[in-house]
Amino acid sequence: MRLSALSALLLGGLALAGCTSSSGPESLSAGLPSKEVTSSVAKGPVPANDVGAIIAAAESHPEQLAWAGQMSQPQAFESVTTEAMAVPAERPVALMMPDTPEAEPRTRHGRAQIYSRQFRDAHPINFGKASPRKMAVHGVDISRWQGDIDWAKLRTQGANFAYIKATDGGDHLDPMFRKNWKRAKDAGMKRGAYHFFYWCRTAGEQADWFIRNVPRDPDALPPVIDVEYNGESSCRFRLSRAKAIEKMQVFMDKLERHYGKRPVIYTAPDFYRDNLTGEFKNHPFWLRSVAAHPSQIYPGRKWLFWQYSGSGLSHGVEGRIDLNVFHGSEEDWHRWVARN
């Protein structure tokens, strides 16, 4: 091969691998991504769905997820103007996360029934005395990869809440989101939406995209920002700790102004270690820890939700599902839901 042709190929490869951010140049970092990733990066056939003309039209144009590369025919992006709602003053973290993991469960008239955990696990872990089985309020997180769900059946199996995948980056909507969002509520389940954060898109753009697609429902749980390393992404730049925190703050502040609820931060061990240790003390955390209690993996961090398994099995869902637990008693749960 001639030198000029080789040079052109090399330059083309570099151009395809490049990625920009509105925050300015980002430092390239070596290192392997976490092996603990959410179901948002699972692979498999896209299940059939009937979520309406908008999504049906979108699916007629094949595209990649935002974190996996640019779309072949990008959707037109409209700027979203949120209401001028001030970000609430800092609230003591104790009001968002109970101090005690367990208490005598109670049920009061008018409150949603709490179903006991009936889930199984393809790869069960012995957590010893700190087993999540002993905790009162269990739930799941869901994305397109779970296909059509029998929400009423899933609820009676112990899914008292569900976080539903909504968006990636600034241009991808989970094709099952609207169907799951409606059916979970119809089944009487408490549900919230989560966003998979993409480090090579601006934070404001991602917040606008989430707001554009996730309804402002006063009965919904607070929104979630999912922050972790992702080896499936075409974005090969790793932000500094300061830049990552800055982008997260912009995204969360915009969502809090719009929804009036402080976002929950979901993360995995390696991303937390590198970027979040000691940060966001007034935000609730949802921690992935599938081999040990969160106190061992995230020492000193108060947490609201614990994702303790990525291999759960349940009636109402085909295949595996992520299992989670709320940090508190039934009474703590009802109080937290009422406040949020």
Residues 221-242: pLDDT tens digits? 999 999 999 877 778 778 899 9
Could you give the CA distance from residue 185 to residue 180 in angstroms, rounded to a whole number?
A: 8
Q: Is residue 142 part of a domain?
A: yes
> Is 78 labeled as catalytic in the residue annotation?
no
Q: Is residue 112 part of a domain?
A: yes
Q: Is residue 35 part of a domain?
A: no
Contact 251, 206 (CB under 8 A): yes
- Least confident piece of the model among 81-95, 191-205, 246-260: 81-95
Among 319, 318, 276, 328, which Cα is nearest to 297's?
Answer: 276
Q: Is residue 74 part of a domain?
A: no
CATH number at residue 163: 3.20.20.80
Q: Is residue 255 part of a domain?
A: yes
Q: Which of 26, 36, 205, 228 is catalytic?
A: 228
Q: Is residue 66 part of a domain?
A: no
When divided into structural domains, the chain yields a total of: 1
Residues 119-142: pLDDT tens digits? 999 999 999 999 999 999 999 999
Domain span at residue 288 reads 93-339
Q: Is residue 249 part of a domain?
A: yes
The residue among 67 and 143 whose pLDDT is bigger is 143
The per-residue pLDDT for 198 is 94
- The predicted model scores a pTM of 0.72
Residue 117 tokens read as 């955990």
CB count in 10 Å sphere of residue 266: 25
Residues 181-223: pLDDT tens digits? 999 999 999 999 999 999 999 999 999 999 999 999 999 999 9
